[in-house]
Homo-oligomer: A and B are copies of this chain.
Amino acid sequence: MARVSDGSKKTRILDSAVVEIAQRGYNQTTVARIAKRAGVADGTIYLYFKNKEEILFSLFERAMGRFIETGRTRLNESLSASEKLKQIIELHLTLVGEDRDQAIITQVELRHSLHFMDQLSRAQVGEYLGIIGQVVVQGQETGEFRKDLDPVFAAKAIFGVLDEMATDWVLSHRNTRLESKAPSVVEFVLGGLKK
């Protein structure tokens, strides 16, 4: 999730927003600060974004785009469901763990109000959950996975585990690597607690 600036103003604005919002939170971040860091005038922001909230939406979309894109790539390969799931888990944690500032946005700031989450969740998160769900379905069809769990539910549960690990990592100020949790997550998700 490393930010590679293509130098375009829009990208510079988004990149600046990530840093500023990560530092002081969405509400404490002024449009003026973002503009300053991006090296543009305050008014310029409004040539690229309808309003301040739109910046946050764009940040979300950019982040989700990366997740979905990477997820899709893996799904196309001919792997077993378990293997695919393992890769999705590793990918998820790796992507989030690559950029702490971006992770703060994704795990915390993007969820700052019901109204806001309402708009987010359906479209893109749904797509991401769909990808996971399809892997679960595949596993059930091939007989790898138990069939008594609703794939939609399973996808959410898996996402819940990943999301908790990510949030926990963001909030802990230790210098661990988020991906190091991947094996445990795979174990837990595939095998559960029971012996």
User: Using Cβ atoms and an 8 Å threshold, which residues of chain B touch A112?
Assistant: 25, 27, 108, 111-113
When the two chains form their complex, are residues A114 and B118 in contact, meaning their CB atoms are under 8 A apart? Answer: no
> Is A64 on the interface with B (CB-CB < 8 A)?
no
Question: What is the interface of chain A mostly: helix, strand, loop, or mixed?
Answer: helix
| B-binding segment of A2-10, A34-42, A142-150 | A142-150
A169-195 interface bits toward B, Cβ cutoff 8 Å, 1 = contact, 0 = none = 011000000000100110111111111
Contact with B along A131-150 (1 / 0, CB 8 A): 00000100100011110111
Nearest residue in B to A104 (C-beta to C-beta)?
B114
CA distance A154 to B194 in the complex (A): 12
Indicate which residue in B118, B149, B190, B193 contacts A139 across the interface (CB closer than 8 Å): B193
A87 shortest CB reach to chain B, Å: 15
What's the least CB distance linking A73 to chain B, in Å?
22
Contacts of A28 in B (CB 8 A): 113
Contact for A190 among B25, B157, B163, B193, CB less than 8 A: B193
